[in-house]
Structure 1
Amino acid sequence: MSASDEGVFAISVAARMASMEIQNLRVYERRGLVDPARTPGGTRLYSEGDVARLVRIGELLAQGLNLAGIARVIELETEVERLRTENARLGMDESS
């Protein structure tokens, strides 16, 4: 687990960092857009990666996308990144 994947921010801190309302973070979690870690007691802990995703959600909302559209965009962005990583790995393998 990288440092950006470790849940360290309480929901109030993550909301402030992403310039969002706490209630929105709960909605985004219910919709599967973000998946914060949980303490054994159930407290949400957001990572740097989660906050970056929340900021991205805010950008897409500002562009007029609804939550279903945002989910699809994030899914496609994740796939593009996976493919770029795979391409880079294959390119390195070919040059070896």
Structure 2
Amino acid sequence: MSEEKTTQPGDDAALYVISIAAELSGLHPQTLRQYDRMGLVSPERASGRGRRYSLQNIASLRTVQRLIGEGINHAGIKRIIELESAMANMAIEVAHLRVEVDALLKENPPKGLAIRRKNPVIVYKEES
């Protein structure tokens, strides 16, 4: 008997039309359109130009709504999103560089140089 592997779409798969995304995020469809125009959450577009939201987009919508609830304006939210994205990209780059440096140190052990203790890299942690 062979097992069939079913691949689940990832969190970045643009699957949800605007009405479903609005329901999942707890927001009005017009709010989702506004956030798209402002560049806060940018869903993919289907061939007919309709918006298609991913689970990541829906999580972003919830984050935007939480930040608005905390009194942050749209321009501030956009800047926060940009900075968090840049920070996540840098954390990934640092992790890659650590792997590379560790491999080089393993190939060429330093003489008289203490090897550093490894610290975990936290890419992003959302507060509850």
TM-score under structure 2 length normalisation: 0.71
Q: Could you tell me which residue of structure 1 aligns to residue 124 of structure 2?
A: none
Work out the CA distance in 2 between the residues paired with 1:77 and 1:59.
15
2:72 maps to 65
- State the shift of 1:45 in Å: 0.7
**Residue correspondence of structure 1 range 71-82 to structure 2 within 5 A:** 71-82=78-89
Q: Does 1:94 align with 2:93?
A: no
Q: Aligned AA for 2:31?
A: N
Where structure 2 has 5 or more consecutive residues not aligned to the other structure, the ranges are 1-8, 104-128
**Alignment: residue pair count:** 95
Task: List aligned pairs for 1:1-96, cutoff 5 A.
Answer: 3-96=10-103
CA distance in 2, matches of 1:37, 1:78: 18
Structure 1 runs of 4+ aligned residues shifted over 3 Å read: none
SS for the counterpart of 1:4 is: coil
Q: Which is helix-richer, 1 or 2?
A: 1
CA distance in 2, matches of 1:82, 1:44: 26
Structure 2 Cα separation of the partners of residues 15 and 39 of structure 1:
17
Distance in 2 of aligned mates of 1:51 and 1:19: 9
Structure 1 portions without partners, runs of 5+: none
Deviation at 1:85, TM superposition (A): 0.6
Distance 2:12 2:81 in 1: 17
Structure possessing the higher radius of gyration over alpha carbons: 2
TM-score, normalization: structure 1? Answer: 0.93
Once superposed, what is the RMSD of the aligned Cα atoms?
1.1
The 1-side partners of 2:99 and 2:69 are apart by: 38
SS of the residue 1:56 aligns to: helix
